[in-house]
Amino acid sequence: MTRFLSRALACAALLALTAPAGAQNASNNAIHLGVQSCASDNCHGAIKPFPNSHVPQNEFFTWEYKDKHAQAFKVLNNDRSKRIAKNLGLTDAATAPLCLDCHADNVAPERRGPEFLLSDGVGCEACHGAAEGWLGTHLSGYNHSANIKAGLYPTDEAVKRAEKCLSCHVGDSNRFVTHTMMGAGHPPMPFELDTYTAMQPPHFVVNDSYIQRKGRPNDIAIWAIGEAVAVKMRMDLILDPAHAPKGLNLELSLFDCQSCHHAMSQLQWGSRATTGLPPGHIKFFDANAVMLAVIAGQLKTPDSDIAQHMVALQAALGKDWDTVKSEANAVKSAADRLIPALVAHDWTRADAIALSHSVEASALDGDDVDYSGAQQQVMALKSIVAAMKQLGFANDQQVAALNDALMWLDTTVADDRTYDQGAYVWALKAFNAKLPQ
Amino acid sequence: MTRRLLGALLLLFAAAPALAQSQPAAQPPIGIHLGVATCNGSSCHGAPERPRNSYVRGNEFLIWAKQDKHHLAYNVLLDDRAKKMAQSYGLSEPPEKAAVCLDCHADNTAAGQRGPLFQLSDGVGCEACHGGASGWLGIHIAGATHAENVAAGLYRTEQPIARAEKCLSCHYGDETRYVSHRLYGAGHPRLTFELDTYTAIEPAHFVVDQGYIERKGRVTDVQVWAVGQAIALVKRMDSVLDPAHAPKGFWPEFAFFDCQSCHHEYGGYARATTTGLGPGAVKFNDANEVMLKIIAQRVAPQAAAALSEHMIALHQATIGDWDSVQREAAGVKTAAQSLVSGLAQHDFTGDDMRALADALIGAAGSDDVFSHDEQITMALEAITTSLKASGDIAGKQMAAVDSAMKAVYTAFPDSQSVQQDAFLKALRNLQQAMRK
């Protein structure tokens, strides 16, 4: 009880602390108050929902016990991190900005409130924004849009969520897992917005109240927008002067990992329309772009020239960096132009089924059956099935059958070392056989 | 008897026109390749047992035809794998017609250089290594000395330098033949080579006995190994210096690099302490250089220092610019070349060989690079073979060394990985077994 009391007191103290800043609206200098300021038992650290509450109230516990973001800082002290730090010439991963920028809510010291703990890892405000500005309005019962105005980050909007998640999960101008870091031991980073939201697991529940306040999310839209934003951000990484080749030295993190990291006994090259590359050549990571081209095909937009520009981008590596940049720009603007249409589109049952077939076709035409492609396709299908379930596009029996088929698909892409194109294609066909008519 | 006679007559007959043609030339003639059928008569090199009073075993053809993969080199081009490879590579003709394949998978000498019994389908036949026989077959059959045969155009495969040049012209590549990364990507298996070990596993169709030594001199396995490393490194550097392999845009010729530098699992942490490069950098295949440096440190320390200096600079240059790569590759080449003749003549003592084995085993412990481990293993094979041949290691010790060597091989579960712990343990045991 004392613990609860202290949390309630802390909450009140925070109110007092945040009141003046709330008036200033969203500010880049706003203070991060710390997980402690959200985790009180009468706030988001409750063990059961309050009567009439909009939300489960146990968001803190979901994060603390199930969400790896809560462990993001702690892993910096494990043996693997010690080894990575040593390989990189860092004294300590847990104090290095290079690591902290994604493994914690690494805001400047002057922006850390008294309860803020770096060791909380990727805490509430790393995604939801500094609470100094909006905690007051939030606690006082103002609506979602008032909180947003006061600086709450709109994680419910797919584009914004994608930008936030991908700022670490792909990287941005400040944060990027270079190949030097990979070589030092950092694991690879697969990502797909909708699947990763589900796996996190989410600490929100889509119920009537959520839909009223924030709209009804559609997993297909989240997937599609996630892919578009990922393509944009990947192109930004290519365009970033910091990642331009230094002499003969390419930033290898821009490339598809399995382009190189496959066993020599795994003969994987095939004639691929999506790359146009001859055997023995490495390719820029293109799994997001291949999916986006599939999605654009469904929208039947005249702007869907992403695929062509991706092929030109791959070929540009045989030319010069200016050509690489101009094609990266072309891919980026094609992705950019698609985003409003992806947001506006009402993704229907017919879309869901047609997209499943197109995802399958992108592999069955013997094209993108590379490991990274297969991995992205499986996550795409998971998102589509999630939408089918959520939006009632398929009945329970159909969803159960699709989920069974997804489990098989999942095992085929579980490990790049044992990945087998034939087994994957077989599981993909089995999945599509289960699709409702 | 009639058969043998017939064979010999036939051969003489086949060689005759070419011989006649070549007569006026003062230099050994450019040999016409007469074909395997001109060597494999039962009274020549196709004898089921050693002919009486013969210097050689007489069954060289049978060893080649039954045990030596060179004999199947052409046939594999007819396999499904080769067909698929040709298609992926983008060949417009089948592999058995394509020069890029035939140049190493057969004795692909020019059409005008093929005698009437010559068959491309014989694969890498006698004359692919021993040279076109038109110039020397006649005197060879007539009982000429080895020196006379050589003067008439027989290739000096018994000389380590010449043998290394010949084998590596395919097993690494030269200015006309090269397994590019595009060819690897299309499915060509990884090339790996060590002259002495590969001579043994071919298997060799010669026996080094008293007669051999009298005629051709004594060459030890460790000399063959050492020279093979130096020539391999020279050839590697030649390929780096070849303008045909300069980077195309941002695509380098990946075949220069150590395969496992990229083709490893995440978390493989392929650690190379020899390069000075940071994590995540792709490194040139330096296994031959690492071997040659170890050899040179024992027999020519100054050359070892120069070699090492240029190789480290070459590694650095691979993250710099192509001009620096060229400059340092030339430096490595010169350093390697300067060692060749000395190594061919160096009399490696038992102490030398044990010191080399110790250095090799030490290198295995300080690094975890597959291509190094592979070369270290083959080097130890050459060294232990030499120690056994000289009588230094015999009897019970020989059995112990053989069994320790076997354990070293067992640490390689397949052709592209090594179990590091088992490997290091096996090496320590071998070191123990080799002690005087």
Model confidence pLDDT, tens digit, residues B88-125: 999 999 999 999 999 999 999 999 999 999 999 999 99
Query: Are B280 and A181 in contact (CB < 8 Å)?
Result: yes
Unique residue bearing structure tokens 């994987």: A268
Give the percent of chain B with pLDDT over 70: 92
Phi and psi of B265, rounded to 5°? -70, 155
Residue A184 lies in a domain: no
Q: Does B124 touch chain A (CB under 8 A)?
A: no
Residue B2 has pLDDT above 70, yes or no: no
Residues A198 and A330 in one domain: yes
Distance from CA of B181 to the nearest CA of A (A): 5
* Chain B contact probe: residue of A189, A251, A260 with most B CBs at under 10 A: A260
- What is the reported pLDDT for B264? 87
Residue A173 lies in a domain: no
Of A252, A261, A282, the CB nearest to B266: A261
Of A88, A250, A261, the CB nearest to B250: A250
Residues A114 and A218 in one domain: no
Give the tokens for residue A34: 């710390």
Residue A188 lies in a domain: no
Chain A / chain B CB contacts < 8 angstroms: 114
Query: Are B281 and A319 in contact (CB < 8 Å)?
Result: no
- What is the reported pLDDT for A27? 53
Residues A200 and A133 in one domain: no
- What is the reported pLDDT for B251? 92
Give the percent of chain B with pLDDT over 90: 82
- What is the reported pLDDT for A10? 46
Query: In 10 A of CB A246, how many CB atoms?
Result: 11
Give the tokens for residue A379: 């996550």
Of B248, B325, B416, the CB nearest to A318: B248
Residues of A in contact with B184 (CB under 8 A): 264, 279-280
Note which residues in 302-331 of chain A have CB less than 8 A from chain B.
316-321, 324
Residue A324 lies in a domain: yes
- As a whole number, the mean pLDDT across chain B is 91
Q: How far apart are CA A352 and CA A384, in angstroms?
A: 6
Residue B143 has pLDDT above 50, yes or no: yes
- For residue range A275-327, list pLDDT tens digits in order: 999 999 999 999 999 999 999 999 987 666 899 999 999 999 999 999 999 99
* Chain A contact probe: residue of B240, B250, B256, B318 with most A CBs at under 10 A: B250
Q: How far apart are CA B134 and CA B152, in angstroms?
A: 9
Residue B377 has pLDDT above 60, yes or no: yes
- What is the reported pLDDT for B270? 57
Residues of A in contact with B180 (CB under 8 A): 280
Q: How far apart are CA A301 and CA A304, in angstroms?
A: 6
Residues of A in contact with B183 (CB under 8 A): 279-280
Contacts of B80 (CB under 8 A, 6+ apart): none
| Spans of chain A below 70 pLDDT | 1-27, 302-304, 366
Secondary structure (3-state) at A205: coil
**Burial zone of B422 (CB within 10 Å; 0-12 exposed, 13-18 middle, 19+ buried):** middle
Residues of B in contact with A185 (CB under 8 A): 267, 269, 279
**C-alpha dihedral over B232, B237, B238, B240, to 10 degrees?**
130
Please say which residue of A130, A153, A176 terminates a domain. A153
Residues A223 and A142 in one domain: no
Residues A257 and A366 in one domain: yes
Residues of A in contact with B247 (CB under 8 A): 248
In chain A, how many domains are there? 2
Secondary structure (3-state) at A174: coil
**pTM for the model:** 0.89
Residue A17 lies in a domain: yes
- What is the reported pLDDT for A260? 92
Residues of B in contact with A79 (CB under 8 A): none
Note which residues in 139-198 of chain A have CB less than 8 A from chain B.
178-185, 187-188
Show the CA angle centred on residue B85, arms to residues B198 and B374, nearest 5°. Answer: 30
Of A250, A261, A281, the CB nearest to B185: A281
- What is the reported pLDDT for A24? 41
Residues A134 and A52 in one domain: yes
Q: Does B278 touch chain A (CB under 8 A)?
A: yes
Query: Are A249 and B263 in contact (CB < 8 Å)?
Result: no
- What is the reported pLDDT for A269? 86
- What is the reported pLDDT for B26? 45
Query: In 10 A of CB A65, how many CB atoms?
Result: 9
Phi and psi of A55, rounded to 5°? -125, 165
Query: Are A417 and B278 in contact (CB < 8 Å)?
Result: no
Residue B33 has pLDDT above 90, yes or no: yes
User: Which of the four pLDDT bands, split at 50, 70 and 90, describes residue B249?
Assistant: very high
Segment B39-53 mean pLDDT: 89
Query: Are B182 and A261 in contact (CB < 8 Å)?
Result: no
Q: Cα A337 from chain centroid?
A: 20
- What is the reported pLDDT for B32? 95
Note which residues in 10-49 of chain A have CB less than 8 A from chain B.
none
> What is the ipTM for the molecules in this complex?
0.86
Query: Are A261 and B187 in contact (CB < 8 Å)?
Result: no
- For residue range B277-323, list pLDDT tens digits in order: 888 899 999 999 999 999 999 999 999 999 999 999 999 999 999 99
Residues A92 and A217 in one domain: no
User: Which of the four pLDDT bands, split at 50, 70 and 90, describes residue B401?
Assistant: very high
Query: Are B251 and A87 in contact (CB < 8 Å)?
Result: no
Residues A289 and A200 in one domain: yes
**How many residues would you count in chain A?**
437
- What is the reported pLDDT for B23? 45
Segment B203-221 mean pLDDT: 92
Residues A215 and A96 in one domain: no
Residues A206 and A315 in one domain: yes
Note which residues in 209-268 of chain B have CB less than 8 A from chain A.
247-252, 254, 259, 262-267
* Chain B contact probe: residue of A249, A320, A327 with most B CBs at under 10 A: A249
Residues of A in contact with B412 (CB under 8 A): none
Note which residues in 177-196 of chain B have CB less than 8 A from chain A.
180-187, 189-190
Of B90, B252, B265, the CB nearest to A417: B265
Q: Max alpha carbon distance in chain A (Å)?
A: 69
Residue A346 lies in a domain: yes
Residue A176 lies in a domain: no
Q: Cα B431 from chain centroid?
A: 26
Residue A94 lies in a domain: yes
Distance from CA of A197 to the nearest CA of B (A): 25
Residues A223 and A130 in one domain: no
Query: Are A280 and B262 in contact (CB < 8 Å)?
Result: no
Q: Does B316 touch chain A (CB under 8 A)?
A: no
Of A184, A263, A281, the CB nearest to B280: A184
Q: Does B143 touch chain A (CB under 8 A)?
A: no
Query: Are B247 and A248 in contact (CB < 8 Å)?
Result: yes
* Chain A contact probe: residue of B251, B271, B284, B323 with most A CBs at under 10 A: B251
Residue B425 has pLDDT above 90, yes or no: yes
- What is the reported pLDDT for A180? 94
Residues A321 and A400 in one domain: yes
Q: Does B80 touch chain A (CB under 8 A)?
A: no
Q: Which domain holds residue A419?
A: 193-433
User: Which of the four pLDDT bands, split at 50, 70 and 90, describes residue B265?
Assistant: confident
HEC letters along chain B: CHHHHHHHHHHHHHHHHHHHHHCCCCCCCCCCECCHHHCCCCCCCCCCCCCCCCCCCCCHHHHHHHHCHHHHCCHHHHCHHHHHHHHHHCCCCCHHHCHHHHHHHCCCCCHHHECCCCCHHHCCCHHHHHCCHHHCHHHHHCCCCHHHHHHCCCCCCCCHHHHHHHHHHHHCECCCCECCHHHHHCCCCCCCCCHHHHHHHCCCCCCCCHHHHHHHCCCCHHHHHHHHHHHHHHHHHHHHHCHHHCCECCECCHHHECHHHHCCCCCCCCCCCCCCCCCCCCCECCHHHHHHHHHHHHHCHHHHHHHHHHHHHHHHHCCCCHHHHHHHHHHHHHHHHHHHHHHHHCCCCHHHHHHHHHHHHHHHHHCCCHHHHHHHHHHHHHHHHHHHHCCCCCHHHHHHHHHHHHHHHHCCCECCECCHHHHHHHHHHHHHHHCC
Q: How far apart are CA B363 and CA B356, in angstroms?
A: 10
Query: Are A279 and B88 in contact (CB < 8 Å)?
Result: yes
